[in-house]
Amino acid sequence: MEIQTTNYDKTDYMETVNGNKVSRKSILCGIMNIRLHGKTIIKPGVIVRGDLANVNIGRLSSVGENTVIRPSYKKFKGSIAYFPLTIGDHVIIKENTVISAASIGSYVYIGKNCVISKRCILKDCCMIADNTIVPPDTVVPPYTCYSGFPGTYKEELVDSFEHYMKDLTTTTYEHFLPNPVIGGTPSSLVTTPTSSSTFIPTSSPAVTK
Amino acid sequence: MGERNKQQVHSKQAYFFVICVCSKSFNLTELYFCNGCQKLNCKHCVTEQIDCYYCPNCLDHVSVAEASQNGNRCKKCYDCPLCFSVLALQQQQSTTEGGTSSLFLYCNFCKWNSFGMDNSKYDTLSILSGGTKGKELSPMQLEANKVLDVLQKEAADIASSKDSRTLTRLKLAQAMRQLFSPTNAGGSGSGGSGSGGGGGSGYSLNSSALGYSSSLANNFIRDERWNKNRSVASPQPSNPLLPSPSSSSSSASSTSSSSSTSNHLLSKMAIKKRINPIGHQEVDQMMQGRVEARQFQPIVSDDVKQDMEEVDALLAIDNANKINGLGQRFANQQQGPLLSNAKQEQLAPQHKQLLTRRSKRCRRCDKLLAKPDINPAKTEFKRQHFAFSYVPRVVVSRAIWLEKDVCNVQIQFTNPLHSYLFICFFKQVKDSDNTLQIYGSKDDNAIPIEMLTETYIGGILDETDDKDNQALQQLKDAEISMHSRFVIDRKDNKVTLGFLVRVSKDDAPTLDNDEIRSRLATPSTPTKKQDLPKYESSVTNVKFTLALSFSSNSSILNNLVVPQPTSPSSTSSLIHILFDIPVQEFDNTKHRPI
């Protein structure tokens, strides 16, 4: 079936100039270090630990409910060094997943209930099936699907995966719309950002409340 | 993608499959579209060629020679013997020795480490140098290599024989052409009298005058080789500038064959060269060689006693977790067979298996369909002919029961191209022997009874083409005047069409077709799910097949005024789409069958 249009309450989401839709019920720590490149959806319950290191999320990506994005670290002679976390474009991350990879490429699909352990590198066009635990320091090459416990190489992906993900993320974004406004009054509730920078200018919902 | 994972990604969309020409059904993403023959190619309809080997962990490009030398495994990366995740290298804290710190292998997942292993194999030096010390082959490996050799030889034989068969056919065709072409008839027809002189002109005849592609011409050059060394893998680089192997052989006609190999097909020399008389002795020798190659030494001595010992050992086990699993034992086959009572300590880490990048070619016309970048980290394709970006994408947007056994299925078509796409739908498809056939899969339980016959979809950029304007206008007019009930929505490069589908294959409709038509004509005003009258379904899944042909050229719409096209035009491509919609997805199903 066609992807059904999901309507959300306009008051529940912040929308930036670039089309990012960030749930007010998500927790973004250290917003100055979190950068969303536009048209990214962050669902309720998501925790992004920008206070540890920089977090970059590309265009047309979506992060599912209750997912934790936490930059990874490594001990260097007693001190702990955090690595910045980069997530590419057209990435779909499903609900209840923990991400502490070093980098995630573009056109990546991560299923629900997954754990992407420390310092993992997910290249472009790869897929992590549902309920997978990817061990630390794993490299997931392009056009492969990793699944299992621990996540190991299981099968190859189709060659047109990139096109498929492009299509999927675009339709997902297009079908994620606010409830049709009745009377057109509640727009004042949404604080539209004034700054033109790509940072999320509004403060974290925890602070606003 | 495997069936299970496919379901995950496609989650709600997996209700349709496209049928390949070879009548197997696939998801659209798995198919290729050949431009040459305008048909779909599934994974069984393509020939694959390995472009490069690479390690999935370090993403290093590995040459073919190196890959085959190491048994298609990476020299540097190891798999954990217990959990198969990647092993990390860790530095050992130098404690008592006071010397240099050494490295060891360590699993980040299950905490396995290489302490206590055979030190010569997994010490610092051998790990870093890629395990050169562990090079000595086990008897198991030697046997495996023998098997591989035999298989490779036979595969090459089969490949070359297949090659030669097509080559003979092609050669015959060319010989006929040479015979009948007025310019060259004398030379070839007289049986080799002009074999020396006609070299240059003959070659030009091959490549240009007869319109042969260069690849085909190369095939002809290669043919000189197939006869000589059959055990060579068939796709060898053939360079017309290099002297072909046959010229260096003992054959007498080396001068003529090196200059142009492919033209004097009927010349005596060429015929003589190709026929190698084989005596009884050679045949016997060959047979004996095959039989010998097929005989392998038994790896496990079939001693009955051993089984008994094993049972005893199994009975003595107190902790089942200490037994290694089938997968673990299988991964350790290289060391020789392990018995089920082998200890986990006996398992050794294995080098990581390499992966490949493969280019795909059409099996019918040998056209290159997909060529990946040789760099393992890159995802670009040098050539891509995916069905996903050539064939209209299909999504079921809504399904409503109109009657107990009649439903309206709304299907959204998306045009992936930048130009207009014209689509024809068929109820019947003409067979090769001109008999009308109702197409469909064997487990179809429904048939589309009423639908639009022709329509168009705008391109992504919606650019207008002057050439097709007339046809477009005609379609648009017809849509407004007659077919508006079928077209539900039209936006950008998407169009949603309604199809009337009747469950049950037999011709005993509970409702007259005219009545159904009139029902469809009345706009389905109650759009909300609750307002629709509920119907009980007799089946759990509604399965039907849709045949459509599409083309970016409006010429397929040669019967614009005729409402019922019966056979697809040759310039377009015909595809069948298999739908399998569970009744739960219908808006108004009364009882949800469990």
Q: Give tens-digit pLDDT for B422-451.
A: 888 877 665 555 555 556 667 777 777 777
Quickly tell me which residue has 């004034």 as its tokens.
A194
Q: Which residue of B has its CA nearest to A152?
A: B85
> Domain total for chain B?
1
Residues of B in Cβ contact (< 8 Å) with A150 = 83-85, 109-110
All residue ranges of chain A with pLDDT < 70 are: 1-2, 182-209
Give mean pLDDT, residues B517-543.
Answer: 65
Angstrom distances, CA of residue B341 to CA of B302, B338, B498: 17, 8, 64
Residues of B in Cβ contact (< 8 Å) with A129 = 4-5, 8
Q: Average per-residue pLDDT in chain B?
A: 69
- Boundaries of domain holding B513: 392-520+532-561+572-588
Query: Cβ–Cβ of B108/A135 closer than 8 Å?
Result: yes
pLDDT at A41: 94
A–B: how many Cβ contacts below 8 A? 119
Reading phi first (left if > 0) and then psi (alpha if -120 to 50, else beta), residue B18 is in beta
> Residue B402 falls within a domain, yes or no?
yes
Inter-residue contact B78 to B349 (CB < 8 Å): yes
pLDDT at B563: 39
> Residue B476 falls within a domain, yes or no?
yes
Residue B257's pLDDT band (boundaries 50, 70, 90)?
very low
Give mean pLDDT, residues B197-214.
Answer: 40
A177 touches chain B (CB under 8 A): no
Q: What is the C-alpha to C-alpha distance for residues B341 and B326, in angstroms, rounded to an integer? A: 11
Q: For B86-100, B163-177, B312-326, which range has the lowest pLDDT when averaged over its residues?
A: B86-100
pLDDT > 50? residue B213: no
> Residue B498 falls within a domain, yes or no?
yes
pLDDT at B323: 73
- Chain B segment 564-593 residues within 8 A of A by beta carbon are 585
Q: Which long-range contacts (CB under 8 A, 24 or more apart) does A199-207 make?
A: A199/A31, A199/A32, A199/A34, A199/A35, A200/A14, A200/A16, A200/A20, A200/A22, A200/A28, A200/A31, A200/A34, A200/A36, A201/A16, A202/A14, A203/A31, A204/A27, A204/A28, A204/A29, A204/A31, A205/A24, A205/A25, A205/A26, A205/A27, A206/A27
Q: Which among B13, B30, B59 has the least Cβ separation from residue A158?
A: B30
Share of chain B above pLDDT 70, in %: 54
Residue B266's pLDDT band (boundaries 50, 70, 90)?
low
pLDDT > 80? residue B495: yes
Nearest to B89 by CA among B99, B100, B76: B76
Residues with Cβ within 8 Å of A131's Cβ and at least 6 positions away in sequence, in order, are: A111, A112, A113, A114, A147, A149
pLDDT at B308: 65
Residues of B in Cβ contact (< 8 Å) with A164 = 9, 29, 388
Query: Cβ–Cβ of B9/A127 closer than 8 Å?
Result: yes
Q: Give tens-digit pLDDT for B536-563.
A: 777 778 888 888 888 877 665 555 443 3
Q: Give tens-digit pLDDT for B318-376.
A: 777 777 777 887 887 666 555 555 667 777 888 899 999 999 998 888 889 999 998 88
Q: What is the C-alpha to C-alpha distance for residues A206 and B158, in angstroms, rounded to an integer? A: 70
Q: Give tens-digit pLDDT for B497-512.
A: 888 888 875 555 555 5
> Residue B413 falls within a domain, yes or no?
yes
B460 touches chain A (CB under 8 A): no
End-to-end CA distance of chain B: 28
pLDDT > 90? residue B258: no
Quickly tell me which residue has 């992906």 as its tokens.
A157
pLDDT at B68: 81
Q: What is the C-alpha to C-alpha distance for residues B461 and B469, in angstroms, rounded to an integer? A: 16
pTM attached to this predicted model: 0.71
> Residue B230 falls within a domain, yes or no?
no
Q: Which residue has the higher pLDDT, B583 or B367?
A: B367
CATH of the domain spanning A10-175, picked from 2.160.10.10, 3.40.50.720, 3.30.465.10, 2.60.40.10: 2.160.10.10
End-to-end CA distance of chain A: 39
Q: What is the DSSP letter of B589?
A: B
Compute the nearest-CA separation of A151 from chain B (Å).
Answer: 7
Nearest to B5 by CA among A163, A139, A151: A151
Q: Which residue has the higher pLDDT, B280 or B266?
A: B280
> Residue B298 falls within a domain, yes or no?
no
pLDDT > 60? residue B187: no
> Residue B430 falls within a domain, yes or no?
yes
pLDDT at B251: 41
pLDDT at A201: 39
Residue B412's pLDDT band (boundaries 50, 70, 90)?
confident
HSE-CB at B415 with a 13 A cutoff on CA atoms is 26
A4 touches chain B (CB under 8 A): yes
Residue B8's pLDDT band (boundaries 50, 70, 90)?
very low
- Chain A segment 130-159 residues within 8 A of B by beta carbon are 130, 133, 135-145, 147, 150-159
pLDDT at B343: 67
Residue B527's pLDDT band (boundaries 50, 70, 90)?
low
Residues of B in Cβ contact (< 8 Å) with A163 = 29, 386, 388-389
A176 touches chain B (CB under 8 A): no
Residues with Cβ within 8 Å of A187's Cβ and at least 6 positions away in sequence, in order, are: A10, A181
Q: How many CB atoms sit inside 10 A of residue B393's CB?
A: 21
